[in-house]
Amino acid sequence: MNLVIFGAPGCGKGTQSERLIDRFGFYHISTGELLRDHIARKTELGIIAEKYISQGHLIPDELMLSIIDVLLDSPEVKDRSIIFDGFPRTVNQAEELEKLLVKRGNKVDAVIGLEVPDEELVERLIKRGQDSGRADDNIDTIKERLDVYHNQTQPLKKFYQERGSYRTINGSQSIDKIAEDIAQLVATI
Ligand code: AP5
Ligand code: MG
């Protein structure tokens, strides 16, 4: 089973992915974490990615898609159920993901949309910035990330609604309640 956990910056994609891994054993592909790891290791990809991430912009689709293409064939991912976190993020990425999965006899089974009002997202991210110091959790970059989300990523909701795979989850509840709602939903897929 392949799931996409979808929503704005700070909606809880990473937090709920961890719960899903513990409960159902998904392989977790978080494109944000993958890119931050490259930045920390100062790889060629990391040097390119940092320029975009620090401004709250998306890295180019072709670059992101080539990384996913390679990753899907890696031994640790092959034949596993996958949870995609932070990917796809543009309609083009979603269309290309569809092709990459079809090529491997696979598909996206459900898209779990965690819906949270913007004011709550800003509060969460500012707090995390103070606690953990993630470089893109400062007010200017947060505002840009939210703009990018509304302009480039939110149209994916309609894209997946048209395919009948979008499921809405209220992301403003407690972490435990959201995890329970998602687990119930996954049981029906
Ligand atoms: P990415 O790492 O994906 O960041 P994001 O989408 O901005 O989302 P976050 O990771 O900040 O939030 P989250 O939804 O995971 O929430 P979390 O669980 O952490 O991407 C970063 C950058 O990488 C992008 O801006 C872009 O530049 C680049 N990038 C990544 N993917 C790309 C792609 N596909 N294409 C192009 N570029 C890409 O929770 C947030 C906080 O809230 C935490 O402190 C958590 O403890 C708290 N929290 C969680 N749930 C709750 C709750 N229910 N109640 C209260 N607090 C909660
Ligand atoms: Mg995350």
Is 47 within a domain?
Answer: yes
Q: For ligand 1, which residues put their CB under 6 angstroms from it?
A: 7, 9-15, 31-32, 35, 52-53, 56-59, 64, 86-87, 89, 93, 124, 128, 145, 174-175, 178
Ligand 1 nearest-atom number relative to CA 125: 41
The reported pLDDT for the residue numbered 133 is 79
Torsion angle, CA of 116/118/123/124, rounded to 10 degrees? Answer: 40
Q: In this predicted model, what pLDDT tens digit does every residue of 82-139 receive, in sequence order?
A: 999 999 999 999 999 999 999 999 999 999 999 999 999 999 999 999 998 799 999 9
Full residue range of the structural domain in which residue 9 is found: 2-183
Is 130 part of any domain? yes
Distance CA 18, CA 66 (A): 25
CATH code for position 62? 3.40.50.300
Phi, psi of 87 (to 5 degrees): -150, 135
User: What pLDDT, on a 0 to 100 scale, did the predictor assign at position 125?
Assistant: 97
The count of other CB atoms within 10 Å of the CB of residue 42 is 10
Query: Count of domains in the chain?
Result: 1
pLDDT band at 156 (very low <50, low <70, confident <90, very high): very high
User: Is 189 part of a structural domain of the chain?
Assistant: no
